[in-house]
Structures are given as structure tokens and as C-alpha cells.
Amino acid sequence: MSLSVTLDNIGLKKGYNLLISNLNLEAKNGDAISLTGQNGVGKTTLLRAIAGFFSPFAGKISASDDSGPIEPVRFRTELIHYLGHQDALSPTRTTEQELRFQAQYLNANENNYQFAVQYLNLAPLLDLETRLLSAGQKRRVSFARLLIAQRPVWLLDEPMSPLDADQRDVAARLMQDHLSDGGIIIAAVHDPLPFETRIVHLTRPDVKAQEAALVD
Amino acid sequence: MSTKINAAPHAALSLLKRDLGLSLTRGGGPLLAVGFYLTLMAMIPLSLGSDSGTLSRVAPGLTWLSLALASLLSLERLFERDYEDGLFDILRLGPLPMEVIALLKCLAQWMGTGLMLAVLTPFVMIILGAPVDAAFISLIAAILGSLSFAIIGGVGASLSLGTRKGGVLIALLVLPFYVPPVIFGAGLMQAYLTGAPVVQALSLLSAYALFALALGPIAMGAALKSALS
């Protein structure tokens, strides 16, 4: 199946601030894109817009496969994984409860759950309440979601930052496997990912564009 | 394809189970609201005196007032915790629309605390001097009332999402909308105790619960989407 995600001349606002303007981007099967740029330039906002959490202020984000354009709702609810800053774990529930919930909620099968636990070596963490986990451990638990429900487009926000060297290797292998299976990765990063990616450097729009956006 | 069709109910069930578990365990669970309710009821004879004639006359009204206030207690954490933990980022990528997610969360919260309060209501009323044969009708009324409280309260909670410590704001937003069930519920009990027909008040109470069930999720969905964008 061929899948492509296209950002067509999009502009994004946060509050009244124009963060991104006239951005064009196309991602196809096997593409890994690194979004770079200084803090506050809009990397997270862009990822959240692609995930469909809100609509861009200008332009269009679309996806299509062999059979034509994909409806935004289907794209969001069936084809996307979003891993944000927050690890989306309830502090009072155990790792196992959270992972099993995610598996059921995202309609994954039991084998994937077992595979994810094994791949990321989560077995020692399963019985712990997630509030007891370190930042790196939480991130590993978040990564499990990518394996539990198989979805082609991964939107990752600073995926590597809390991980130690060994776990970075595991995560890098995970991502490379996904790419060779025809997946798409769009990641916001400060340190480059340890494999070849297309780098998209985000910069602030010039003052004229920012002022023009204020009027709209 | 069959897995796709089953995805939504499956997901709904898993979310309901998760939230029910959380509403029973997190932050003291139903104990907080139940403790508040019982303490408030225990204070009524202390403040009004122990004359059983007076107490049995005001019992239905005060019980409903306390039920409304106790229902407010757990509203603040209905969406706030999951919002802070970023859990909505997962929920939105699943098969359920935001309206259904919000409704399920309210229902789980209602089952965790509202139903407990409703079950206690007949006992509390009887202790305050209402006749024992009013127990069943007061249970039905309290179940309907607490359901309305839970969903209307969910609308308030979703509107105040993202404001730090929005508890008082929620109370201000939702208390006016708690008035109709309180009127119908307390009126129902008065009618029963004076021997008047109860059908009218019961129908209005049910209508209000259905109204909340139908329109609440739409309002919550819109408020949550705007808070999460």
C-alpha cells in the first residue's frame, strides 16, 4: 500500500502568533523527516496539526493512498500514532493496566502486546504504578503503543530525549524497522536521529507575514 | 473488515472500564463524596434541633440539596487529570468521537460516585424522619437526579478545563442547572408524602435526565475540542 502525507502551503497559529507559514512538505512510504529549529518555533504545534488535533489557519493537510484521498477522520483514528512530551500514563495505574487499555482501545490484538513487552523489555515494569517510573522508563512504555497498534504514520515529539544510550539503540532499531516496512516517521528533534532522515528546518516567519496574519 | 466494525464498542467498553476503575480508586474515590454527604446530613439535626416533626418536613428538600452539593465534589478531576497526563492525545486517535469519550467519562464517574450517593439517599431520608415506604420512590428519583447532576456537571468541568483549580468556577457554572432536578426531586418527595400523584414530577425528572444525556455530550465534545486544540 502506498501512502503519502502532504502539507500544502500551511500556516499555523498559536493564539494570535503566527508560528509557521507557507510550509510545504510531502512524506511517502519509508520517509523519515526530522523537524528541527529553535525552541518555540512550532515543531510540536506542527506535529499536533498533522495529527488532526486542530485545523491549520491556512493551507491544507491531506493524506492519500492507492485508492485516493483519505478522509481526515479516518487518517486520525486509524493511521496515526502521536507520541508527545507527555507520556499519557495515569500515575495511579500500573504499566500493564495502561498498556492493556491502550491495546483494547486502539483495537490491537494480544500478540502485539506480548511482542511490544518483549521488544522493549518492559516485563520488569508491568506491575509498577506508572508514577514510580523514571522519565526514560515512561518513554519506553510510550513506545510500546507504536508496536501494539500497527499504524503507518508516526508523529514523534523529541522521542529520544529521556532515553539512555542502550534504549536509544533499541528505539532507533524500532524506527528503522518501521521505515523499512513502509512506514512514515515525522519527528521533532534537537539531537539528530541516529539514521538517515530528511531534515526540515523550521524558522520563524518574517515580521510582515506575522503582521498580515494578525489581521486575518 | 469485521474488526473495524467492532472497534468502536470495544473501545468504548475498555474506556468505561478504565474510568470506572479510576473513579473508584483515585483521590479517595467515592469515599470523599459519600463522606461529605453523610457529614452534611449528620449536621442537619444538629443545626435544626431534634424535633422529628420539623426534620421530617424538611428531610426531602435538604437531602436533595446535599445530593446536589456532594455531586459537585468530584467534578474537578473528571477531565483535569487525563488532560494533564496527556491521555486525550491517545483517546482522540482512537475510534470514538469526542462526544462519546466525554459521555463515557461522565457515566463512569456517575457509576463510581453518583450511584453510591443515590443508594444512600433513601437511608438518609428515613433517618431524618421520612416514612420507610418512601424509600423506593426516593431511590428512583435520586438515581435520575444524580445522572442529571453528573452530565450537567461534566459540561461545567469541560468548560473550565485548563483553568488551574477550576473547582469553584465549575460550581458557579453548573449550580444554576442543578436547580430543576432539585425542584422536581424535592417536589416529588413532597407530593409522595402528602399523597398527591407523583407521575408529573417523576416525568419531569426523567425528562431532565434525558435532556442532559442528549445535549450534554454535544456541549462537552465542543468544549473539550477547543480546550485540546
Task: State the CB neighbour count (10 A cutoff) for residue B131.
Answer: 11
Q: How far is B85 from chain A (nearest CA, A)?
A: 5
Buried b (16+ CB within 10 A) or exposed e, B15-25: bbebbbbbbee
Contacts of B105 in chain A (CB under 8 A): none
Distance from CA of B86 to the nearest CA of A (A): 5
Please write the tens of the pLDDT for every residue from A62-93: 898 888 888 888 888 889 999 988 888 888 88
Count chain A–chain B contacts defined by CB atoms under 8 A: 77
Stated length of chain A? 216
Q: B89 vs A76: CB contact, 8 Å cut-off?
A: no
pLDDT category of residue A156 using cuts at 50, 70 and 90: very high
The SS3 call for residue A109 is coil
Q: Using the 8-state DSSP alphabet, how is residue A60 labeled?
A: E
Question: What is the distance in angstroms between the Cα of A91 and the nearest Cα belonging to chain B?
Answer: 8
What is the per-residue pLDDT for A68? 87
With beta carbons less than 8 A apart as the criterion, state whether A31 and A180 touch.
no
Question: At B1, is the pLDDT very low, low, confident or very high (cuts 50, 70, 90)?
Answer: very low
Q: What is the pLDDT of residues B127-158, one digit of tens each?
A: 888 888 888 999 999 999 999 999 999 999 99
CA distance B210 to A96: 37
pLDDT band at B162 (very low <50, low <70, confident <90, very high): confident
Q: Measured between CB atoms, which of A80, A89, A107 is closest to B95?
A: A107
Spatial separation of the C-alpha atoms in residues A96 and A113, rounded to whole Å: 10
Place of cell 489557519: A57
Query: Has residue B59 got a pLDDT over 90?
Result: no
Going by the DSSP 8-state scheme, the letter that residue A195 receives in this structure is S
Residues B29 and B108 sit within 8 Å (Cβ to Cβ): no
Q: Is B18 on the interface with A (CB under 8 A)?
A: yes
Model ipTM value:
0.88
Give the per-residue pLDDT at B205.
93
**B172-198 confidence digits (pLDDT tens):** 899 999 999 999 998 898 888 888 888
Residues of B in contact with A97 (CB under 8 A): 18, 21
pLDDT tens-digit readout, B27-38? 667 888 889 999
For the cut 70, the answer to whether the pLDDT of residue A216 exceeds it is no
CB distance from B87 to chain A under 8 Å?
A: yes
CA atoms within 13 A on the CB side of B105: 31
| Tens digit of each residue's pLDDT (9 = 90 or more) over B72-120 | 888 888 888 888 888 998 999 989 999 999 999 999 999 989 999 999 9
SS3 track for chain B: CHHHHHHHHHHHHHHHHHHHHHHHHHHHCHHHHHHHHHHHHHHHHHHHCCCHHHHHHHHHHHHHHHHHHHHHCCCHHHHHHHHHHCCHHHHCCCCCCHHHHHHHHHHHHHHHHHHHHHHHHHHHHHHCCCCHHHHHHHHHHHHHHHHHHHHHHHHHHHHCCCCCCCHHHHHHHHHHHHHHHHHHHHHHHHHHHHCCCCHHHHHHHHHHHHHHHHHHHHHHHHHHHHHHC
- Its pTM stands at 0.90
How far is A9 from A93, CA to CA, in rounded Å? 42
Judge: A101–B3 Cβ closer than 8 Å, yes or no. Answer: no
Choose the closest CB to B92 out of A53, A102, A104. Answer: A53
pLDDT at B27: 66
Cβ-based contacts of A158 with chain B (< 8 Å): none
B11: nearest CB among A85, A89, A107: A107
> Does A51 sit within 8 Å of B93, measured CB to CB?
yes
Amino acid at residue number B117: L
Of A90, A97, A106, the CB nearest to B94: A106
Is residue B10 less than 8 Å (CB to CB) from chain A?
yes
Q: A88 and B228 in contact by Cβ < 8 A?
A: no
A contact test, residue of B93, B100, B104, B224 with most A CBs within 10 A: B93
* Record: contact B86-A93, CB cut-off 8 A: no
Gap between the Cα atoms of B103 and A179, Å rounded:
38
State residue A138's pLDDT score.
Answer: 92
Asked if the Cβ–Cβ distance from B229 to A53 is below 8 Å, we say: yes
Task: Give the pLDDT mean for A139-164.
Answer: 91
